Amino acid sequence: KPQLVASNDRFCRFLEEYCPVVTETYYPTIWCWEGRVQTLLRPFITSRPQVQYRNELIKTADGGQISLDWFDNNDSLYYPDASTRPTVLLLPGLTGTSKESYILHMIHQSETLGYRCVVFNNRGIAGEDLLTPRTYCAANTEDLEAVIHHVNSLHPSAPFMAAGVSMGGMLLLNYLGKTGRDTPLMAAAIFSAGWNVFESVESLEKPLNWLLFNYYLTTCLQSSISRHRQMLEKLFDMDLVMKARTVREFDKQFTSVMFGYRTIDDYYEDASPCRKLKSVGIPVLCLNSVDDVFSPGHAIPVETAKQNANVALVLTSCGGHIGFLEGIWPRKCTYMDRVFKQFVQAIFEHGNKIFSM
C-alpha cells in the first residue's frame, strides 16, 4: 500500500472517502516493476488517446509568446454550460508538450468527467517561434502566473485547478509556495516532482542513470533550443551550450545564465520545491515513487509536508518516474491516471468539504 502522509485529519478522511485509490494496494506490472524499467518503457507501452486541440498563442509582458492547447470538451454532458465547466490546467515535464502520452491520458480522464483542459506548453517547445531570447525554468513562475490569470479571466465562474508532471509539478509547487492562498486555483495535483534539484542531478549523474536518462535528456534540451539558435545566439555561446553532456552542464551554461543566477547552485536552490512547501496555501496532492531516480526517495520532504495542513503526499515503493504501470499489459490506465481522475473529481464535486480546513 502507498504511504499517505497528511497532517490534516480532515484532508486525510476526504482522500480516503473520495479518492480511495491512494489507500489501495498498488501492484506494479510484474515483468517491469523496477523503477528505471518503468520509466523507460512507459512512453512506448502506454496508448496515445486521440485529442483534438484548439491552439491559442498569448503574449507576455516581455514581448514573448506562450502556446496553450485547449481541449474545450464542448460535448460535455455533465457541464453543457461552458462558463461554469470545470477547468484543469496541465503542466508537462521538462521538454514535454501537449502531445505527451501522460497528458493525453489526463485529458481522456477529464473528458469522461465532463471537464475542460488547457495545456501550458513552455516557451519555444511546441512549434511556436521564440520572439525574445528567453525559454523557461523550474524556478521562474512568471509565465505560469500569466497563464493562470489568462485562463481565469476567460472563465471566471468555472471551478479551476491544475496538475503538474515532473518539472511541471516543480514549477506549479514553486508558484503555489510563492502565492500561498492568493491564487484562482482551488487545488493542485503533483506527479513525480523533483523535490530537491541537488539530489536529483546527483542521482542522474550515477553512471547507469547517466547512460539511461541524463545524456538523452540533455540532448532533448539541446534539441529544443537548437531551432531557436539564431535568436538565442544574441545572448549565449551556443557552441558551448551544445557541448553539454549532462543536465547540470546545460543548466550551468544556459538556464542559470538566462535567468540571472550568480551560480548554478543559486538556481538549483531556488528551483527546489522542498524549500517552499511550507507556504502552500491550497490543497495539494503529491504522488511520488521512492524508486524514482529523478526524485530520490530520501529527498522527498516528508517532515516538511507534515507541517502544512494543505499538503498530502502519496508515496509508492515502486513506479519509477511518471511510470506507475499496472496490470499484465499496461497500455491504458496507470495508477497515476487513476489518482489524477479521482482527485480532480473529488475536488470539483466534493471540494467544499476540505476548503473550510
Give the three cell numbers for residue 316.
509508492
Catalytic residue IDs:
166, 292, 321
Buried b (16+ CB within 10 A) or exposed e, 239-263: eebbebebbbbbbbbbbbbbbebee
What are the residues whose beta carbons fall under 8 Å from the beta carbon of 196, sequence distance 6 or more?
Answer: 272, 274, 299, 301
How crowded is residue 61: how many other Cβ atoms within 10 Å of its Cβ?
8
CA angle (273 as vertex; 269, 275 as ends), nearest 5:
65
Q: Which residue has the cell 479551476?
A: 160
Largest CA distance in the chain: 55
> Rounded to whole angstroms, how far apart are CA atoms 5 and 46?
29
| Spatial separation of the C-alpha atoms in residues 352 and 29, rounded to whole Å | 36
Query: Which residues are bridge partners to 174 per DSSP?
Result: none
**In 10 A of CB 174, how many CB atoms?**
25
How many whole angstroms separate alpha carbon 298 and alpha carbon 123?
32
Dist CA 44 CA 321 (whole Å): 14
Cell numbers of 142, please?
512568471
Report the C-alpha gap between 82 and 80 in whole angstroms. 6
Residue 235 is placed in which grid cell? 545572448
Which position has the grid cell 489501495? 24
Segment (H or E) for 164: strand 160-165
- CA-to-CA distance for 209 and 196, rounded, in angstroms? 17
3-class secondary structure, 67: strand
